[in-house]
A and B are shown apart, each in its own frame.
Chain A
Amino acid sequence: MILEINNVSKSFGGIKALKNINFSVKEGEIHALIGPNGAGKTTLLNIISGIEKMDSGDIRFKNISIKGIPPHKRAALGIARTFQNLEIFGNLKVFENILTGLYLKNQKGFLKSGITLKGIDKDLIIQSFSILEYVNLLNKKDELAKNLPVGEQRLLELGRALATDPHLILLDEPAAGLNMRETKNLSQLIQKIRDEKAITILLVEHDMELVMGISDMITVLNFGEVIAEGEPLMIQKNPSVISAYLGED
């Protein structure tokens, strides 16, 4: 198990967003986290990446508790993520966005950066190009990121996450705002990342065709609680999942 969520709870004021959440993500799998709006999926991703603090419980990543570790150090441990509301660096060029991901493992000191004349290593630039090629954005490398359409901005976020050389990527609704062709390409890319790079993926997504098509395991949240867990076919037939999505008679 690469990621273990143990008894995680979180409330905002009087609202309990997450109630004693328990589940584990197996290494090398695409694990989907689904549920109706307001089920607490994004909150859970924020807690895993360290942007929000949990009230109680524990999270273990590669058998080490990451409770209390600040978000930038979690990234260094190998947790990367993308955002539902895109958080690209709009005023940077596309390849420079990738460079910010490469910063983690290739950073030099502040002083050293100031006295080094030759700028960014050629190797890193080439590395950023090859990541762009991997996410099919190489032809846009010199454009300002803010000028890309939404679909390509999502790919850019994914590429930027890959640049940190992670073991686990948290994808927060990567297909939101994509058309059918783009969604299909995205699903192939996610599978490629799992199969070729052996990176584990925790996917929050509303597009059921995408989720059912690529997930190895699915956890269903509703009102801050896990209501079901299993493989795609099992989840589709689960009565409590159906009632959570469609409402009861």
Chain B
Amino acid sequence: MSKGNAIGLFFLGIFVIFFPQIVTDNYILTVGIFIGINALVAMGLSILMGYAGQISLGQAGFYGLGAYVSAILSLKFGLPVPISVFISILTASLIAVILAIPSLRLKGHYLAVATLGFGEIIHIILNEWGPGGPSGFGDIPPFSIFGYTLRSTVEYFYLIWMFIILAMTFSLNLIHSLTGKALRAIHDSELASVTLGINITKLKIKVFVLSSIYASLAGALYAHYVTFLSPSGFSLFYSILILMVVVIGGMTNIWGAIAGAIIITILPEILRGFKEIDILIYGLILTFCLLFMRKGIVPLFIEIWEKRIKK
């Protein structure tokens, strides 16, 4: 990890610790939790797109799988929550491997097509066979560990942002390792990477599995925080939303996942005052971002910052 990133993580940690002490408003903390959940899903997609050069349109599938598997295991089978979360992550990563092996062996964007189909299949399965069908089910046990049950919003805020910091640390370590350079190489030229002895299929599969782990973890945390699940939150729309988070934040920088999640999550809340034209303004702002900030917000700010230093 580079110095700048280590300092960034340190300040993020400080911020996370003190934020709920200063801002005690439950509504704002709830928004903070949803920013965290979206950022965690986006982080995986960001590495997949920015480093392995692959697009997934099915992150909602892993997110939904994580949520439903963990919820069902803890509610219907009485498993302790940490174990049900763990099994849900395992399930998602296993499915990721099965999806990735055939689609990543081929050149091109077969993964995007495969994951698009996968996401839809999961959505249909949740609708048809999920407990409660389209209307969903509740009474999911809250998150508890070593006999302590998390109840307040503040506790969930800490729990989710702790996972963000852990995932961030892992991702930054990976990106700044030799393996990270190999991943960037794959993004620039697969042909050259192969002739340098980089097993690109294997690396791409691993990154995809990592993205499924982040997404399913986020889904499981969501399930035990909200304690109610219905399939509507796990449709293609959510996959596209996460894609937006990554693109707006900037896919060449992992911090973009957090920046993008802040913008995409807060924007509808701010625009609520505009009533029925909110979606119009939402669309306009996003279009503006895509037109004038092609690389995304974080890389753009870094560019401006570096130019100022040079002056």
Binding site for B on A (CB under 8 A): 49-51, 71-73, 75-76, 80-81, 83, 87-92, 96, 99-104, 106-108, 110, 113-120, 124, 157, 160-161, 164
Contacts and interface: CB of A to CB of B under 8 A. Distances in A.
Contacts of B246: none
Contact of B198 (A103, A119, A124): A103
Contacts of A50: 194
Interface stretch (B61-69, B113-121, B179-187, B277-285): B179-187
B195 A89 contact: no
A-B pairs with lowest CB-CB distance, top 6: A75-B197, A104-B197, A113-B177, A87-B192, A89-B188, A113-B179
Contacts of B180: 113
A92 B173 contact: no
A76 B173 contact: no
Given A71-B194, A83-B192, A117-B1, A99 B177 contact: no
What is the interface of chain B mostly: helix, strand, loop, or mixed? helix
B195 A81 contact: yes
A104 B102 CA distance: 25
Which of A116, A119, A157 neighbours the largest number of chain B CB atoms within 10 Å of its CB? A119
A110 B174 contact: yes
Interface stretch (B71-79, B143-151, B199-207, B301-309): B199-207
26 contacts: A51-B191, A71-B194, A72-B195, A72-B197, A75-B196, A76-B197, A83-B191, A87-B192, A88-B189, A89-B188, A92-B181, A92-B184, A96-B181, A96-B184, A100-B184, A103-B198, A104-B197, A104-B198, A113-B174, A113-B177, A114-B170, A115-B173, A116-B177, A120-B177, A120-B178, A164-B197
Nearest to A119: B176
B193 interface: yes
A100 B196 contact: yes
Given A113-B177, A116-B177, A103 B182 contact: yes
A73 B197 CA distance: 6
A49 B195 contact: yes
A72 B200 contact: yes
Given A49-B195, A110-B206, A164-B197, A120 B185 contact: no
Interface in B189-235: 189, 191-200, 203, 206, 210
A227 to B, nearest CB: 28
B181 A99 contact: yes
A162 to B, nearest CB: 11
Given A87-B189, A91-B184, A72 B194 contact: yes
